[in-house]
Amino acid sequence: MDFAHLTTVMRRLALEAGDKIMEIYNSPEFEVKSKSDSSPVTEADEAADALISAGLRAEFPDVALVTEEQSASHDQTVSTFLIVDPLDGTKEFVQRRGDFTVNIAYVHEGSPVRGVVYAPAKGRLFYTDAGGNAVEETGPFDKQTVGAVTPIRVSKPDAAGLMVVASKSHRDQATDDYIAKYTVKDMTSAGSSLKFCLVATGEADLYPRVGRTMEWDTAAGHAVLVGAGGDVVRFDNHQPLRYGKDGFANPFFIAYAPGVDLQEA
């Protein structure tokens, strides 16, 4: 894989998808439908999925492609592939809260090694560069020319009080019970894959997820966090979170900055 070219393409497609999403987001109204699992899907999800899929297939025709909106067509496991969530945080989008992202990642032999996370309503763009290092680019964003880029790095956690980020839409008692095992200085909520990015930038030290997620929800944020020096492990045994699983469903997991003394489930 030509990682320099991959980075350029993923960044451009994320920005283009973001423009399409915001066009619909800022319209007076938009249609919200329910998928077979009762989760919401909007015309923004579908438009962004079509745009990104076409772009990736044109540039990387020999690489398997998995997207949330086309996941039903994938009936076998893969280990090296591109994976897309065109609009992560649809509930945040529908409620016009802004915490939604475009996620594109490249998984190699079960590990997400490159990714881009774009939060168009927040104006924040995170991605891995050609060398796999995580950066945040500040806008305004030009689709052809990279702007000001800042390397991002996880913080050194303070054991006397951790910064914790948790899901905005999926917070539950099991999550609170696990967080209670730590000494917490402050806690914030965020939607979508932004939670991984807050750990990557040092704005949080720990993000536990005790709830259902799919690989397209996490791969891009996972890649950004690893590129910033962090990691993501399974909740049950602290082994690496792997990708290309049958059905693409994740187990519970913990995203964290090294130095956090992970507690048992």
Q: What is the pLDDT of residues 68-115, one digit of tens each?
A: 877 665 556 789 999 999 999 888 888 888 889 999 999 999 999 999
Lowest-pLDDT range of 87-96, 113-122, 150-159: 87-96
For 93, residues 6+ apart whose C-beta sits below 8 A from its C-beta are 21, 25, 42, 44, 87, 100
Strand intervals (E) in 89-171: 101-108, 111-119, 124-128, 134-137, 149-151, 162-167
CATH number of 3-151: 3.30.540.10
Q: Where in the chain is the domain with CATH 3.40.190.80?
A: 162-256
Q: Please report the pLDDT score of residue 172 as a whole number.
A: 78
Which pTM does this prediction carry? 0.94
Domain 162-256 has CATH 3.40.190.80: yes
pLDDT tens-digit profile of 182-210? 999 999 888 889 999 999 999 999 999 99
d(CA 223, CA 35): 27
